[in-house]
Amino acid sequence: MELEAVIITTSLAAIAVTAIVFLTRSYRLSERLSEARQQADTDTLTGLLNRGALNNALRDAFSAPGALQLVYIDLANFKDVNDTAGHEAGDAVLEKVADTLRRHAPSTASISRMGGDEFCVLLPDHTDLEALEFCERVCTSLKTRSDLPDGVESVDLSAGVASRSEDCQSAEELLRRGDRAMYHSKSCRLGPELYSANLDESLRVRREIRSELGTAFNAGRLQLAYQPLVNARTGELAGAEALLRWPDKIGRAGSPGEFIPIAEETGLIVDIGKWVIQEALAQIARMDNKIAIAVNVSTRQFLDTDFSTLVADSIIEAGVPPNLLKIEITESVLITYTEKAARILRELRDIGVQILLDDFGTGYSSLSYIQKFDFDMLKIDRAFVRAMDKSRAGGDLLRSIINMGHSLDMEVVAEGVETRRQAAMLQLLGVDYLQGFALGAPGTADKLLNFQPSETLTKSSNDIQIQTEDSKIKPSSVA
């Protein structure tokens, strides 16, 4: 009896040990399978969901009740970050973006890196406005982060928002709509974009432009128009700005705002920009009374490795004084690529060209950047000129900008001058040069060469008074 009990006890113990071993192995296997599934669903660099996991989460969220917003994000000029700061810096930027998305997204959100520099966020129970506000918070946070890698001053992104609606039949369609809205945001550069049916037509037009632009450039159908730069004191021609035009089949000029961003996306802007510089220099060479011509340079062209060499070689080939070529760049280039921009600007200055800060006031407008880069000329954005008409504060702000420019040894240009009254007020505020339709519309080189001193400005022996439509503007009326 005792022997049987021992045998039974031993058998039960063996069974228990076997069961424990089995359960332990099963638990470990389950853990490994869970880890494997997690790894399969996770982006290794950022720790976010990957594309496959996002697709699964999207299908689940799409079939659940309640509102659903999809945010599709793309980093602006990320290739330039890799090219200028290196791939390690690029990876660090992606990690910072992932961290920013986590900090600003609600706990119910699903956040994914779709691959490359694209991200996607699902926001259950959010309205259109709440999704757009989320995008704005992320954009602002990325622009002000102080822990970005060396060589990267800020991170800009394009964001598209798509909402589940009755006419959106599938999760895949919602994702496509978010992608389309993001692409439109990237193209127009007006901030986060909410999907609408009108975007489809806009994107169709953009695809047509994209397919035809290269053909038009290679066929020599792009043209330059020249807008006069007028001396604010004398009304005489002081220079010109070369503006790119693409006439359509019946001779109308295409909007640069439509085709230049596409040229930048495709990389064609580098070849187009080279042609613009060479054509502007050739035009200077043909002039008997030579004047300086300014050309706009895109971010992509400016950061090109051979840009300074291109400028130097083109000047030598044209045989014109280098100071007759003016290069216009915007603040965004300086903010995002500070160190490389500083080096390129030093090279251009050594060549002898003049450097203009374009559209001042549309970006960060930091005094430290203006002092650091030592510009020859400051161009005040047209928005400030329009604001001057609306309030006394607008005039006071313009006076401050003009005085600041002069204190830093820069000449100051006011862009977008469309009325005689604006010209009068700006001249009384002390601006050096005026540019806009009130002084002269963009036209052919022949029209530029035949420019007559502007009738908008008249000079007297004691002071320059500007005749408006109905009265004379006194200096005291601007103060």
> What phi and psi, each to the nearest 5 degrees, are found at residue 438?
-70, -25
3-state SS assignment for residue 240: strand
Q: Which residues contact 469 (CB under 8 A, 6 or more apart)?
A: 420, 421
How would you class 319 by CB atoms within 10 Å of its CB: exposed for 0-12, middle for 13-18, buried for 19 or more?
Answer: exposed
Q: Which residues contact 300 (CB under 8 A, 6 or more apart)?
A: 77, 80, 264, 267, 269, 270
CA 75 to chain centre: 10
117 is annotated as an active-site residue: yes
**Annotated active-site residue in 43, 74, 80, 117:** 117
Pair of tokens at residue 255: 């909007």
**Alpha carbon distance 379, 148 (integer Å):** 30
Asked if 240 contacts 291 with a C-beta cutoff of 8 angstroms, the reply is: yes
Pair of tokens at residue 390: 């609306």
Asked if 67 contacts 164 with a C-beta cutoff of 8 angstroms, the reply is: yes
Radius of gyration of the chain (CA): 30
Which residues are the active-site residues? 117
